[in-house]
Amino acid sequence: MSRSASRLTSSLSLDNHCSVLVSSPESARRPKSASEGVRINYDQQLLHEVWLSGLRSWRNRLSRFANNFKSGIYPSSVEFLVTIVALVFSSHLFLPFDPSLGLIHAIDAFVARRLSASSSVSSCVACVSFAVVVWLLKMLSMRYALKLLLMYKQWMYESRAHNKPSTATKVWLLLIRALTAHKSPSLYSYQASLPRLPLPPLDQTIARYLQSVRPLLDDTAFARTTRLAEQFRDGVGRKFQRYLWLKSWWASNYVSDWWEEFVYLRGRAPLMVNSNFYGIDALVTDGLTSKQTARAANLVYASLLFRKQIDRQELKPILVQNLVPLCSAQYERVFNTTRIPGADADRLSHLTDSPHIVVLHSGKFYKLTIHHKGRLLQPKQLQQLLDQIVADDAPANNGESRLASLTAADRRTWADTRHKWFSKGINRISLSAIEKAAFVLVLDSERFEAEDAAKLDRYGQLLLHGNGNDRWFDKSFNLIVARNARVGFNGEHSWADAPVMAHLWEFVLHYDFHVLQYDDDGNCRLGNGVDDASPPIRLKWDFADPLLRVIDDSFRNAQALLSDVDLRLFRHDAYGKGFIKTCRVSPDAYIQMALQLAYFRDQGHLSLTYEASMTRLFREGRTETVRPVTVESAQFVRAMESPDESASARRELLRAACGRHQRAYQEAMCGKGVDRHLFCLYVISQYLEVESEFLKQVLSEPWKLSTSQTPHGQVGLLDASKNPRHISAGGGFGPVADDGYGVSYIVAGEDVVFFHISSKRSSSATDSQRFRQHIDGALRDLRSLF
């Protein structure tokens, strides 16, 4: 065993089957086993570390309280309060009249009478009290004025449709700037001012739903659906709508809590492939480093800096057009969050802080403390500790290397196993270390390559599911670093949506490329090595034979599930956003029409299609569904397949379809979508135990084509036009339907679009490679129209 590996020695024995590895260079610091139990020799350094840990915790609490207060009073400020207090005192002392209309005098008399205070004290209390009341009224009026202004959404429809905004929008812009220009907002400053997600009228939702399914149904099926919809609208739908109206006024968001619970946490299918998603490194990483632990150390450090900015609310909220804020609520659970399995429903466990991460390497788990002497470990220090883990050549124990496959099992199996085998003893201690970690770092034994299509496909597959036993799928995210120092992540979906992880990823890669960097030998630049940092702790487990059988079964099931996934990545570099803009259409709408054409050629018909949009213009907003199949898109697709249509006619039909799609996307962002409203009505029907044939039909319709666009450069840290090396392939997800496709795409710069295409090998109806070719052909044909 090497010198660094020798520090990873076992020193605390609880019984014959389980032990926690505590590494320490001094034998005096090692716990000692005695017949009466465990006796620990405390030394001064250990007690000092405990003291520093407590101080850091209290500093974080005080900082969090101060930041919450500042965010809570936005767009006002403490400085404004001090100004009002000074003005009130000055006017009270020097003006010949009372600007408070006698209120200060009344408060003065009340304080003097009740508290028997001197005249100077009662006068000061009266002035301060009056100033605070004035400030509170001013703050509340500013907040509600801002909320009213943020309810205005006409600017979204005008931003691309007209060269100049309307007069109403110009006035709105001036008022927004007047309210917010004087103070820089923190991460949660706008939360109290964001409007609630509006509840659409039932008639409007029903009409839009019928319009969306018209191109997918023949006359007989559409007549039946229309009849069911009208019966629902004129019957129990009114009752359901009243309950939902009540919730929309009582709750911050009438959708998000039910969406999280019923769509995610109550799902019993495995998280791997079915729910979790992944993200990929920048494709060009030459000149960084080929050292796995160095890249991992920089990315861990950058991730923890991001966490620090969230905790201190120093991270700036994302502003649409540098003016309109998006909801930041999802950032709260990026770190220190784990999805805990349950028999009927999972739950999300979130801690306000976590002093460690967990490292998974060669089938072994290590707890790594991320602070030393009250400060965050710097990259060189982290690399030194990660080198110790990599140098540990002790083999994984029986069952240990496949332990993570339990998180890839169906949720009931994992919940039962967790309750039976991880509720006490060493298993509970070790599992708690994983679940309470800030995140999981995976030092993978595989190499991630992106030089050709086949290697890029494998890259995505390893990030989506790994080998089924080397990702802890319950954690909010796994940071994955390959043997050749390429990186990626696997994210759990219930706590947030992909744009939040994309923001973290943009920040992390930016810091890695431009701030932290590496020396000539490929090691971390920042920091100095330390010999007395808390060394890694290898987690130990007690695997009884029945538990080993469950783990082996879970691993075999995970292997079967991932083997069925047909994931392909497609780099389209013939043209990109730059050319599409010259066509005077939305790039997203253009790509969606290409997908519709490709799907029609692949399947011979159109199918119900899902595109995710966001509703984060509203408080606690998450997503809404855009339905790309419309009457206009169907006409365009059929025209492309008709030899009798001219290029000019096809071009105009494409523009009409793109315009309709863009309008639908805007409506979804403004809370006028169809699917979340119908979903909530269905939840109410289940609570009331009232069956609705219409809602059952709507909720049972399969999404044969599920799509999503990954944002690139949300906050401008990775500008592909200035740094083409920063182009990322984005990320992807597994197929939603057994006989359908999942497609994620990212518009990476002006000339490149990446597609992640997934389907199931067991389906005879789908083939990801075939669909990739159809997408390529559709994009070529669309370009030929211009």
Q: What separation in angstroms does the CA of 141 have from each of 135, 146, 292?
A: 10, 8, 54
Q: How many distinct structural domains can be found in the chain?
A: 3
Same domain, 735 and 652: yes
Last residue of a domain, one of 193, 222, 246: 193
Does residue 617 lie within any of the structural domains?
no
- The amino acid present at 217, given as its one-letter code, is L
| Spatial contact of 501 and 300, defined as CB atoms under 8 Å apart | no
Q: What is the pLDDT of residue 722?
A: 74
Does residue 21 lie within any of the structural domains?
no
Does residue 263 lie within any of the structural domains?
no
Which residues in the chain come in under a pLDDT of 50?
Answer: 1-40, 161
Same domain, 633 and 725: yes
Q: CA-CA distance, 383 to 314, in Å (whole number)?
A: 27
Domain residue limits at 150: 65-193
- Taking the alpha carbons at both ends of the chain, their separation in whole angstroms is 66
Same domain, 339 and 372: yes
**R_g of the chain computed on alpha carbons:** 29
User: Up-side HSE of residue 134: CA atoms within 13 Å toward CB?
Assistant: 20
In terms of Cβ atoms closer than 10 Å to its own Cβ (0-12, 13-18, 19+), residue 119 is: exposed
Q: CA-CA distance, 577 to 320, in Å (whole number)?
A: 19
Q: What is the pLDDT of residue 365?
A: 98
Farthest CA pair distance, the chain: 96
Condensed to tens digits (0 to 9), the pLDDT of residues 589-607 reads: 999 999 999 999 999 999 9
CATH number at residue 511: 3.30.559.70
CATH number at residue 651: 3.30.559.10
Q: What separation in angstroms does the CA of 621 have from each of 154, 260, 624?
A: 19, 11, 9
Residue 123: strand pairing partners: none
| Spatial contact of 767 and 601, defined as CB atoms under 8 Å apart | no
| Spatial contact of 237 and 229, defined as CB atoms under 8 Å apart | no
Helix (H) or strand (E) holding 366: strand 364-369
Q: What is the pLDDT of residue 109?
A: 81
pTM of the predicted model as reported, rounded to 2 decimal places:
0.89
Q: Can you say whether the dihedral through the CA atoms of 115, 118, 122, 125 is positive or negative?
A: negative
Q: CA-CA distance, 230 to 232, in Å (whole number)?
A: 5
Does residue 575 lie within any of the structural domains?
yes
| Spatial contact of 383 and 371, defined as CB atoms under 8 Å apart | no
Same domain, 577 and 537: no
Same domain, 316 and 444: yes
Active site residue 493: yes
Same domain, 459 and 598: no
Q: CA-CA distance, 96 to 98, in Å (whole number)?
A: 7
Cis, bond preceding 535 (omega within 30 deg of 0)? no
Last residue of a domain, one of 142, 169, 193: 193
In order, the DSSP letters of 557-578 are: HHHHHHHTEEEEEEEE-S--HH
Indicate which residue of 92, 493, 677, 726 is catalytic: 493
Closest CA to 561 of 473, 465, 475: 465
| Spatial contact of 131 and 84, defined as CB atoms under 8 Å apart | yes
Residue 571: strand pairing partners: 754
| Spatial contact of 785 and 651, defined as CB atoms under 8 Å apart | yes
Tokens describing residue 305:
């800096």
Q: CA-CA distance, 484 to 481, in Å (whole number)?
A: 8
Last residue of a domain, one of 516, 545, 574: 545
Tokens describing residue 509:
């890669």
User: What is the chain's length?
Assistant: 786
> Which stretches of 251-378 are DSSP H helices?
256-258, 292-311
Give the Cβ contact number of residue 528 at 10 Å: 8
Does residue 314 lie within any of the structural domains?
yes
Q: Can you say whether the dihedral through the CA atoms of 157, 163, 168, 172 is positive or negative?
A: positive
Angle value at C-alpha 644, between 642 and 645, nearest 5 degrees: 75
Does residue 255 lie within any of the structural domains?
no
Same domain, 493 and 597: no
3-class secondary structure, 406? helix
In order, the DSSP letters of 411-442 are: HHHHHHHHHHHSSSHHHHHHHHHHHTSS-EEE
Does residue 378 lie within any of the structural domains?
yes
Give the Cβ contact number of residue 227 at 10 Å: 11
Same domain, 326 and 418: yes
Same domain, 308 and 357: yes
Closest CA to 478 of 291, 296, 315: 296
Q: What separation in angstroms does the CA of 149 have from each of 142, 174, 177, 209?
A: 10, 11, 11, 29
Same domain, 187 and 299: no
3-class secondary structure, 708? strand
Does residue 401 lie within any of the structural domains?
no
| Spatial contact of 300 and 382, defined as CB atoms under 8 Å apart | yes
Same domain, 635 and 504: no
3-class secondary structure, 757? strand
Angle value at C-alpha 356, between 355 and 361, nearest 5 degrees: 180
Q: What is the DSSP letter of 165?
A: -
Same domain, 663 and 752: yes
| Spatial contact of 354 and 347, defined as CB atoms under 8 Å apart | no
